[in-house]
Every structure is written in structure tokens, then in C-alpha cells.
Homo-oligomer: A and B are copies of this chain.
Amino acid sequence: MMKNYNIKILFGSNVREFRHNKGISQEKLAELSGLHRTYISDVERGSRSISLDNIKKIANALEIEVFKLFIFNEEDHYD
């Protein structure tokens, strides 16, 4: 079972991937989610332990279900 990985890195990597899929900038995602541009940057790089309410704002802005931001991609290692 996956237990020792950095969840902030996993989450941030997934946000970045879905954002790229949507073809938008961090600034656009910030605008859509109502969060600050630099905050999005921090989250994507895994340097913020973001909480539930903001996790949901980002998922809504990306138009995806929240759980998808926690799916582990076997090709990557999150540490």
C-alpha cells in the first residue's frame, strides 16, 4: 500500500496536470477559483498544505471531481 509519499506534491502535480489539460494559465486558474495567482503557484509546487474549502474551489475551477486530484500516477514518485 502507498503510504510514504508527499501528499502536497501529489496534489500539486495533479492540479498542474489538469490545468495544462484545460489549457489555462495559473493566473486564469486563480481567477476561476477565486484564489491568488501566487497561491496557485505554491500549491502546484507542493509548498502549501491546502485545506478542504480551497481544494474544492480548485476542483470546481478545473471542472473535475475532487477525488481525481488525489489519484496516484504510477509513473511519478511524489517525494
Binding site for B on A (CB under 8 A): 1-3, 7-8, 11, 49-56, 60, 63, 65-68, 70-72
Per assembly, the copies of the chain total 2
Whether B1 pairs with A52 at a CB distance below 8 angstroms is no
Of the A-B pairs whose beta carbons lie under 8 Å apart in the complex, a sample of 7, sorted by A's number, is: A2-B65, A7-B52, A7-B53, A7-B55, A11-B52, A50-B51, A66-B70
Closest 9 CB pairs of A and B: A67-B70, A51-B51, A49-B51, A7-B56, A49-B52, A67-B67, A49-B53, A66-B70, A7-B52
Whether A66 pairs with B7 at a CB distance below 8 angstroms is yes
Whether A63 pairs with B1 at a CB distance below 8 angstroms is yes
Bound CA span A52–B51, Å: 6
